[in-house]
Structure 1
Amino acid sequence: MNDTILEHDTTEQDAQIDRLMQGAIDLHCHSGPSVMARYLDHIEAIREASASGIKAVLLKDHYYSCTPVSYLLNKHFADSGVQVLSGVPLNNAVGGLNVHAVEHGLKLGANLVWMPTFSSKNHIAHHHQDKQFDQKFPQTTQRMLEPIPLTVLTDDGKLKDEVLAILDLIAEAGVVLSGGHLHISEIFPLFEEARKRGVKRLLVNHPTYVVDATLDHMRQLASEGVFMEHSMCMWVPGSKFKFYDPEFLGQVIEAGTVDLTILGSDLGQKGNPTIGDGFRSVIRTALDIGYSESDIRKMTSGNAARLMGI
């Protein structure tokens, strides 16, 4: 009898997950081509999203803006039912804190600007301080030039002039500003100035990973209306980057609030679970720790749609 009850519960939960997959949005899709090992390319990402019920994906590569690619995909794969979003990553490959790269990306229709990620001084410091960092962050398939560490702050703690110019462009275009892999101590002054200059939509990606935000930091960010995206790859069984347990997922959601929490896959790496499996797994975890379908839908689609204006 217990087996019958368990089978019924599992079937019911599978049906819940099926419902929640419909209309999901992934703001952290690492498809290729890339100098990092990916299991799928951008076209395959659209096909997988469509088959999984995901209605929008934001393509992210640390080395280049996917905006021109996104334009082509939206034009030629409109019948997929998947909207492709893009952003401009301000790493060394695009000239770092390069206002011209931002302007170009925005003119082509970029939806978001990431502050430096793997080129950030903070990310590089983590790499040097942690001997196991290579196992905790995807590496390039070929040896690359040593990165130039990037920070948004001057030596005396003020925001750099080039950052101010970038913030003005983001405000004018009305797109999303992500803190990238800056340290939380850089993100607070950056976001404060961004708000002063008219930037309305703010995002912190994986605040507990590399960014070093504490639960108290997340509570403060939430009080300021900042969206926080947590990477599914850090919770999914079988992921090379599974660092956290279900209890911690509940803690970060409560700190950042259901209304400002986004669950993105941060998947696409070769050897990791698929994006669709990542969504299904984290939805199951959220159900198991007590979140309602309504709350999970906010975190897997509604909040992302509100942030991105789609």
Structure 2
Amino acid sequence: MTTDQSDIDIKKSFGAERDAKIAGLLKGAVDLHCHSGPAAMPRILDHHEATMDAEEAGFRALVFKDHYYVGMSHSAMIEKLMPGLQVKLYSGVALNNPSGGINPHAVDHAIKTGGQIVWMPTLAAKNHIEQSAKATKNFPASKKPMLKAEPLTVLDEAGKLTDATLKILDLIAEADIILAGGHLHVSEQGILFDEAIRRGVKKMLVNHPTYVVEYSDEDIRSFAALGVHMEHSICMFVEGRGYKHDGARLKQLIELAGIEKTLLCSDLGLTGSPRPVEGYRRIVNTLIEQGFDDGQIRALTGGNAIKLLPVDG
């Protein structure tokens, strides 16, 4: 770990009274976007360490996300090896090239092994590849060179959803799990979510609408009105390599969709940024500074997310 990474990873103090308040507000938090390892991407912690951090902080649930493999087996084994664990562990499938792309069989397998979320293509999305090619700052890369991604889209040449995509939507609807837009462009996600609603999908999520997928403020407002949740990545709002927006912008984004349709999830684990739980501590402090009350903060950091998972009690 470099000095820069160590500095970022140190727990930041906001004063004893504020630290205690933050700790209390994080009881029951839910992270739907934890990028712990092992992974092809460089990570600052593994799934076991992420679990221990979340357990200590009193989180209610944690979702392991990897761009290239499903994590349900990791979740199951950690829970078995740590009896009495209070935080519930979940994962899902990201439909990138290693999973066969827009592959109903990968989705069916994920569902049958307990997967709770399907991320549409992320790093292999045609939109992501195009955005990366024109970016002035390099996107996160794997530790070792990988085969060049084959660009993926949910649309055919006529601009219609592919048959494989429609099958996946039916599988998601039947299993009542989460459909996440991944790194598809907003123009693709609009078509995708409209059809998902028609086919009975009830749990829908836009990942980091201000990053890569190019949602406008009006897009955020209109998609939320349809019932789609906006998941803002904490990494975009706290110190580290993903930082892009300040607290005032976060408040504006929350107001666009409404608190009930907004989730704050870490998207943390990459080197050069805080660990996920530390990211939550910092974003809660930001929310306090921006005038959100305790109930609103609890909804944004866990109360809304938990409704998308099969957690009892």
Give the alignment's TM-score, normalised by structure 1.
Answer: 0.94
Does residue 1:88 correspond to 2:93, yes or no? yes
Instruction: Note the alpha carbon deviations across 1:16-62, whole angstroms, 9 max, x for none.
Output: 21111111111110011101111111111111111222221100000
Aligned residue identity for 2:194: E
Tell me if the contact between 1:47 and 1:80 (Cα under 8 Å) persists in the aligned partners.
no
Identity of aligned residues (%): 47
d(CA) in 2 for partners of 1:55 and 1:76? 18
Whether the aligned pair in 1 keeps the contact of 2:45 and 2:275 (CA below 8 Å) is no
Q: Could you list the per-position Cα deviations for residues 209-244 of structure 1 after superposition, in whole angstroms to 9, with x for gaps in the alignment?
A: 00110111010011111111111111112x111011
- For 1:138, which of 140, 143, 168 is the aligned residue? 140
Aligned to 1:219: 221
User: 2:46 matched to 1:41?
Assistant: yes
Structure 1 segment 295-306 matched on structure 2, within 5 A: 295-306=296-307
Show the counterpart of 2:22. Answer: 17
Pairing 1:285–2:290 present:
no
What amino acid does structure 1 have at the position aligned with 2:247? Answer: P
* CA offsets 1:103-125 (integer angstroms, 9 cap, x no match): 11100010010100010000000
**Partner-residue secondary structure (3-state), 2:168:** helix
| Structure-1 separation of matches of 2:144 and 2:63 | 25
- In the TM superposition, residue 79 of structure 1 has moved relative to its aligned partner by 1.7
Q: How does 1:180-199 map to 2 (within 5 A)?
A: 180-199=182-201
Query: Structure 1 residue 271: deviation in Å?
Result: 2.6
- Structure 2, unaligned runs of 5 or more: 1-13
Larger RCO: Structure 1 or Structure 2 (Cα < 8 Å, ≥ 6 residues apart)?
2
Cα separation, 2, equivalents of 1:12 and 1:40: 28
User: In 1, distance between residues paired with 2:102 and 2:201?
Assistant: 17
Partner AA of 1:251 in structure 2: Q
- Residue number among 70, 77, 82 corresponding to 1:65 in the alignment: 70
Picking from 23, 47, 53, the partner of 2:58 is: 53
Q: CA deviation at 1:12?
A: 3.5
Code of the aligned partner of 1:283: V
- Provide the TM-score with structure 2 as the length reference: 0.93
In the aligned structure 2, how far is the partner of 1:73 from the partner of 1:290? Answer: 38
CA RMSD of aligned residues (A): 1.2
Whose helix proportion is higher, 1 or 2? 1
Q: Residue 79 of structure 2 contacts residue 85 of structure 2 at CA under 8 Å; is this kept in 1?
A: no
Counterpart secondary structure, 2:282: helix
- Give 3-state SS (helix, strand or coil) of 1:202's partner: strand
Secondary structure of 2:263's match? strand
| Structure 1 gaps, min length 5 | 1-8
Kept in 2, the 8 Å contact 1:46–1:80? The answer is no
Q: Which runs of 4+ in 1 moved over 3 A?
A: 9-12
For the Cα contact (< 8 Å) 2:232–2:263, is it kept in 1? yes
Aligned AA for 1:286?
A: L
What CA distance in whole angstroms lies between the structure 1 residues aligned with 2:136 and 2:220? 27
Asked if the contact 1:21–1:54 (Cα under 8 Å) also holds between the matched residues in 2, the reply is yes
Q: CA deviation at 1:10?
A: 4.4
Maintained 8 Å contact 1:16/1:293 = no
1:150 is aligned to: 152
